[in-house]
Amino acid sequence: MHFANIVGGLAGTLTTVAFFPQAIKAWKTRSTKDVSLGMFGLFAAGVFLWIIYGIGIQSVPVIVANTITFVLAVTILVLKIKHK
Amino acid sequence: MHFANIVGGLAGTLTTVAFFPQAIKAWKTRSTKDVSLGMFGLFAAGVFLWIIYGIGIQSVPVIVANTITFVLAVTILVLKIKHK
């Protein structure tokens, strides 16, 4: 179980951190033509539910990781809507 | 706990299904200029670790959801490398 927790923590860190390069790219280039509106809309909605789930099971790592991901996914979504 | 499971299931479905519109868009347009290589590289690596984690905790939903996401993230990654 100890090994699983380390792998799970690393997995969660990677899938959260992954959104930084996309948010930075969209912010810098102001170009989001190839970025899918559907993807980031559905993903932001899903991550919002992960936060609710984290509150429900009282898991601080789930709440923290998904709150960071939510902010980044919404940033990309807003840049997509603004710059097409 | 029942409510949390429903919310968690819905959250996992949304964050998995979200990758379909991006994969379809990249496949159809053959244009991935605005898509971040770093994002899908890091995300695919993270999702791969989620699969290992799922095997470690013997959770079929974690394994299944992340295997689907992994295939889609790698598809987007390959299209990004091929079409820039």
pLDDT per position as a tens digit, B4-39 = 889 999 999 999 999 999 999 999 999 999 999 999
Q: Which residue segment(s) compose the domain that B61 sits in? A: 2-83
Q: Measure Cα distances from A4 to A9, A17, A46 in Å.
A: 8, 20, 24
SS3 A65: helix
A2: buried, middle or exposed (CB in 10 Å: 19+, 13-18, 0-12)? exposed
Q: Count structural domains, chain A.
A: 1
Predicted pLDDT of residue A21:
98
Contacts of B31 in chain A (CB under 8 A): 33-34
A9 touches chain B (CB under 8 A): no
CB spacing of A25 vs B34 below 8 angstroms? yes
SS3 B55: helix
CB spacing of A34 vs B39 below 8 angstroms? no
Give the CATH number of the domain where residue B9 resides. Answer: 1.20.1280.290
pLDDT in tens, chain A (84 residues): 588 889 999 999 999 999 999 999 999 999 999 999 999 999 999 999 999 999 999 999 899 999 999 999 999 999 999 997
Mean pLDDT of chain B: 94
ipTM score of complex: 0.91
Q: Contact, B19 vs B38, CB < 8 A?
A: no
Neighbours of B55 (CB within 10 A): 13
* Closest residue by Cα to residue B46 from A17, A75, A53, A70: A17
